[in-house]
């Protein structure tokens, strides 16, 4: 969906990265986002909302019947902050449950969890294991080339 940011307030024209999560009856229905800020907030939200509704490969496109019960959650990401750590225990000691979203990358594989995932996976070690699996790595994977970034989000609503 093309959106001209010119007609929107400055607060919606700042360059930000977002995720748009769709739910039907509290069940995930689509979630698409960007990790690096590249376009105005209003354009990023519009693009990700359309993609979450119609292009998330895990789901069929949202139907007209679902539109009336669709809950839309927008997460506006802070800039990424690299996390320096010596081993997994050090990393786990730095993770802030309920606050941090994480991006994990190793061997050409990458995955992210928004901070809302802490609501379902509260233990940092399990959170990290699930994130590794999401990235396509074994849950017990560890290597010196592993990189992790953290971010926070402003949520709407």
The residue from 48, 77, 106 where one domain ends is 77
C-alpha to C-alpha distances, 48 to 79, 90, 114, nearest whole angstrom: 18, 34, 15
Identify the residue whose tokens are 């995932």.
Answer: 117
Pairwise CA distance, residues 111 & 1, whole Å:
26
Pairwise CA distance, residues 157 & 151, whole Å:
18
The residue from 60, 77, 94 where one domain ends is 77
Residues 86 and 63 in one domain: no
How many independent structural domains does the chain possess? 2
Does some domain include residue 157? no
The residue from 77, 95, 118 where one domain ends is 77
Cis, peptide link before residue 157, omega less than 30° from 0: yes
Q: Tens-of-pLDDT digits for all 157 residues of the chain?
A: 688 999 899 999 999 999 999 999 999 999 999 999 999 999 999 999 999 999 999 999 999 999 899 999 999 999 999 999 999 999 999 999 999 999 999 999 999 999 999 999 999 999 999 999 999 999 999 999 999 999 999 998 7
Residues 10 and 70 in one domain: yes
């Amino acid at each position: 969906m093309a959106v001209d940011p010119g007609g929107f307030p400055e607060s919606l024209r700042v360059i930000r990265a977002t995720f748009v999560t769709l739910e039907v009856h509290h069940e995930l229905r689509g979630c698409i986002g960007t990790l690096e800020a590249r376009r105005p907030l209003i354009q990023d939200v519009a693009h990700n909302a359309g993609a979450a509704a119609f292009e998330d490969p895990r789901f069929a496109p949202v139907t007209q019947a679902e539109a009336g019960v669709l809950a839309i959650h927008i997460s506006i990401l802070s800039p990424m902050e690299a996390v320096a750590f010596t081993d997994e225990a050090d990393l786990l000691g730095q993770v802030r449950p309920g606050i941090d979203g994480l991006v994990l990358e190793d061997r050409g594989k990458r995955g992210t969890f928004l901070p809302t995932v802490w609501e379902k996976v509260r233990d940092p070690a399990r959170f990290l294991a699930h994130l590794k699996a999401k990235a396509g790595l074994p849950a017990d994977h560890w290597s010196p080339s592993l990189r992790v970034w953290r971010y926070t989000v402003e949520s709407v609503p």
